[in-house]
Structure 1
Amino acid sequence: MNELSILERRFPGRRAGLKREILEQALACFNETGIEATTIDSIRARCEASVGAIYHHFGNKEGILGALFFTVLDDQHEFFEHYLDKARSLEAFVSALVISYVDWVVQNPEWARFQFQARASVAKGPHRHALAERNARQLKGLKEKLGAVDTSGVKISAPFELLPSLIIGASENYCRAWLSGRVQTSPSDFREQLAAAAWRSLQG
């Protein structure tokens, strides 16, 4: 699964070709020069769209940023769901969360880089309410899925809101280090160890 396949899945068909091209080049600009330094003109210079076409599809730079960020969240969520649907025990559920997170990052490194650097800007920008609502829905969905797995014999004392951080925190930290080049070994090589560590953290 490469980066462009995400855009093809989220914006399918020939009529969406220009939109995909704008988003593809915007993703490259954001990753190469940063969120703040990227402008509509720098995006236009990399694609065959006019400034008018860019504004028509996305309104402004924040519109492009939001479209890319929500595309990441949608794709990532769908990827996670595929793993979580197979989990029948709490331990398998925790393992599925960690392994799906690692696998998605490794398969989509440019999207992951963008997600890490864009998160704060989106959370503070005009899409902050939409992001908060989406996060709340996904947290609710995660809680419902967690309630459907077998938790017999396992006691978790941590509040539910803390669980995603306990489960994903170490994996996210290592993935950030890998994406920045601070470590060279792929997160895939450690995904079982990261999953085991997450499981131990829930057991106190």
Structure 2
Amino acid sequence: MATIDVLERNFPGRRAQLKREILLGALACFNEHGLDVTTIEMIKVRCDTSVGNIYHHFGSKEGLAAALFFSSLEDQGRLLSEYLEKAQTAQEGVSAIVYSYVDWVANQPELASFQYQGRSMVAKGPYSDELTARNRSRNQNLLNWWNVPGRRELIKSIPLELFPSLIIGQAESYCRAWLSGRVHTTPTAYRAHLAQAAWLSLGTDVQGNS
């Protein structure tokens, strides 16, 4: 699935075509040069547009980064919801979270690479409140899935702020290594291993008992 597909879902229609083109150009610049080095002028040249168009649609470099970052979060969230809808047990839920994360990174390496470097800029910049609100909404949706008999027992003794790291931490570490070229096997090849590791990190055994 191409990056343009993600942007078309988040910025649909012909009237948003220029927005999508600017975002694609910004993404290429951010990944090639880094967030700090990339300038609006560089993005302008890459997109063959005007500085005025960029500022009109996004306001600033921080606005561009936030639009790309939130598009990534939205797309990840869609895939996670699809996977969780098919999960019934707690262990299947853990696998759904890990599988959706790994599959998304493997399918969207450009956006994933940007997401890792862009998180700090968004979290510390003018869009930090929006990021907090989006994270709170996403976390609440996850909690709603877990908060049923047979699932809630698994997480009731785990601090909520620790829960995502226990499930995603090892998958994130491998995905970062893959994106940087330090390892070469696609993360999807190891997703079953990563899901099992996440399950065991919650204090469970192989049979799914907590």
Q: TM-score, normalised by structure 1?
A: 0.96
* Equivalence for 2:45: 45
Q: Is the 8 A contact 1:90 1:149 kept in 2?
A: no
In 2, distance between residues paired with 1:177 and 1:164? 19
Deviations 1:180-200 (A, max 9, x none): 001111111100000001011
How far is 1:127 from its partner? 0.7
* Equivalence for 1:7: 7
* Equivalence for 1:75: 75
Query: For 2:72, what is the secondary structure of its paired residue?
Result: helix
* Equivalence for 1:24: 24
RMSD: 1.5
How far is 1:156 from its partner? 5.5
Q: TM-score, normalised by structure 2?
A: 0.93
When structure 1 is superposed on structure 2, of 110-119 and 47-56 the one drifting more is 47-56
Unaligned runs of 5+ in 1: none
Cα distance change, pair 11–203 in 1 and its aligned pair in 2 (3 A): same
Runs of 4 or more, structure 1, over 2 Å off, are 148-157
* Equivalence for 1:128: 128
* Equivalence for 1:109: 109
When structure 1 is superposed on structure 2, of 10-19 and 155-164 the one drifting more is 155-164
Q: Is the 8 A contact 2:65 2:122 kept in 1?
A: yes
* Equivalence for 1:95: 95
Aligned partner letter, 2:106 = V
Q: Is the 8 A contact 1:156 1:202 kept in 2?
A: no
In 2, distance between residues paired with 1:172 and 1:149? 29
* Equivalence for 1:173: 173
* Equivalence for 2:198: 198
Cα distance change, pair 156–195 in 1 and its aligned pair in 2 (3 A): farther
Unaligned runs of 5+ in 2: 205-210
When structure 1 is superposed on structure 2, of 88-97 and 4-13 the one drifting more is 4-13
* Equivalence for 2:158: 158
In 1, distance between residues paired with 2:38 and 2:94? 37
How many equivalent residue pairs?
A: 204
Cα distance change, pair 116–151 in 1 and its aligned pair in 2 (3 A): same
In 1, distance between residues paired with 2:156 and 2:196? 16
How far is 1:119 from its partner? 0.6
* Equivalence for 2:208: none
Among all aligned residue pairs of Structure 1 and Structure 2, give the percentage whose two residues are the same amino acid. 54
Query: For 2:189, what is the secondary structure of its paired residue?
Result: helix
Matches within 5 A, 1:175-190: 175-190=175-190
